[in-house]
Structure 1
Amino acid sequence: MQAFWTGLGLGLSLIMAIGAQNAFVLRQGLRGEHILWVCLFCALSDALLLTFGVYGAATLTARFPALDDVMRLVGAIFLLLYGVRAMRSALRGGQALDPAGQAGASLGRTLAVCLALTWLNPHVYLDTVMLVGAVSAQQTPKAAFLAGAVVASFTFFFALGYAAIRLRPLLVRPRAWQGLDGVMAILMWAVALSLLWPMVVSP
């Protein structure tokens, strides 16, 4: 179960970072438009990317052992910098999300926008392939770690989409994101240290 909870925690810490995809899901929830399909598309896309990250990265590191340390280092640096970004946002007072925009878009157009925000975002590949792949190298069994990360994705996207209306008074306030960014920074720094620690203590 430790691998499962590690995957769940890492998945939540990465996916909760405010970005274009999450803002889009939030806006769809606030508008009440195509919420099920948008949440399902994002969650399934994340599951596919996570699966490739866990098992694809493992195959590459088996063939090229030196990639393990490289992936750990890249992942740790990315998390440390992303944590700094999140903490700076928290210290500056957070950021509000503006749900404004035109309503009434068709399902096809909505999913096309969602596809672009998901699959054309380079940070998605850094998170789900490089970073998750690096962390998964330390987890046994990998299937449990992957299951935790996938559960995190489904839980977050559906919670974000369907809770948006009730949470609207809170989500439009910068103060709410200030606390979230602070927690995110701490979680990311902790994972970064866990990646670097085996490299430091190994002979």
Structure 2
Amino acid sequence: MLESYLTGLVVCGGIIIAIGAQNAYVLGLAVRREHHWWSAGLCMGTDLLLVSAGMFGMSAVLLTMPGALEALRWLGVVFLGWLALQALHRATAGRQGLAVAEARGHSVTRVVLATLAVTVLNPQVYLDTLLLIPSVGAQQDSAGAFVAGAGSASILWFSLLAWGGALLSPWLSRPRAWRVIDGGIGVMMAIIAVQLAGGELGGVA
């Protein structure tokens, strides 16, 4: 059982740590202290829900719906491209340094909806959580322990993003520093959008 748990922890951790749309979005919110724990918690919950679904049969359903993944792919390209343009505009136009009071710029509802969009419009999320991770989990002695390990990896990682980004925000309050952050997030989002458009889904969860 412990071996299954550790396998889930390592496999899921290795997949979600790769910088992708979800991670970049949560980190950006955390640095701005903008309802970042809501976003991080939602990412944790969806990871656990999808991995559990994949482990208990949803992967077979996904394989019968290639058209749905294709539609999600192009929706993802459009949405990520929009996020990239927003971040790059902020990077070039500049803005005032960060302050805790600015954290109320976006409502919780808007943050939650944007987090859901970053998650559900990325087909790689489904390939990872409903196919790749469960394919490893199917070889383990305890499916429950494997899912628990995968869920722990998600909780640890997104907690680190939310906590670490917020912790660093006082040192990143200068306009020049935030331009660099926005520029980096914009470039990452643009690269992911291009990868999705080209069908290169690997490693962009």
TM over 0.5: yes
2:112 maps to a residue whose letter is L
Count of residue pairs the alignment pairs up = 139
Distance, in Å, in 2 between the alignment partners of 1:26 and 1:152 is 17
Matched position secondary structure for 1:18: coil
Q: CA deviation at 1:166?
A: 3.4
Structure 1 residue 112, shift from structure 2 partner = 0.9
Question: Unaligned regions of 5+ residues in structure 1, if any?
Answer: 62-66, 68-96, 175-203
Q: Secondary structure at the match of 1:157?
A: helix
Matches for 1:58-77 after TM superposition, within 5 Å: 60=60
- Equivalent residue for 2:6? 5
Measured in 2, the distance between the counterparts of 1:123 and 1:52 equals: 15
CA distance in structure 1 between the partners assigned to 2:109 and 2:37 by the alignment: 13
Output the CA distance in 2 between the equivalents of 1:52 and 1:23: 25
- Cα distance between partner residues in 2 of 1:44 and 1:36: 12
Q: Which moved more, 1:146-155 or 1:157-166?
A: 157-166
Sequence identity (%) = 41
Is the deviation greater in 34-43 or in 142-151?
Answer: 34-43
CA–CA separation in structure 2 for the residues paired with 1:118 and 1:42? 8
CA distance in 2 between counterparts of 1:34 and 1:57 reads 31
Aligned partners of 1:44, 1:33: CA distance in 2, in Å?
Answer: 19
Matched with 2:126 is 125
1:106 matched residue in structure 2:
107
Moved over 4 A (4+): 97-103, 167-172
Counterpart in the other structure of 1:186: none
Can you list the C-alpha shifts for 1:60-119, whole angstroms capped at 9, x where unaligned?
49xxxxx9xxxxxxxxxxxxxxxxxxxxxxxxxxxxx98969861111111111010011
3-state SS, counterpart of residue 117 of structure 1: helix
Normalising by structure 2, we get a TM-score of 0.60
Counterparts of 1:1-203 in structure 2, within 5 Å, are 1-56=2-57, 60=60, 104-167=105-168
Q: Closer, same or farther in 2 for the Cα pair 1:2/1:42, shift >3 Å?
A: same
Supply the RMSD in Å over aligned alpha carbons.
3.1
Structure-2 separation of matches of 1:148 and 1:142: 10
Q: In structure 1, give the amino acid aligned to 2:17.
A: M
Distance of 1:6 and 1:167 partners within structure 2: 31
The two structures have a TM-score, normalised by structure 1, of 0.61
Q: CA deviation at 1:57?
A: 5.4
Letter in 2 for 1:45: T
Give, as a single letter, the amino acid of the residue that structure 1 aligns with 2:113: A
Structure 2 gaps, min length 5? 64-86, 96-101, 173-179, 185-205
Residue type matched to 2:56 in 1?
A: Y
Q: For residues 29 and 36 of structure 1, what CA distance do their matches in structure 2 show?
A: 8
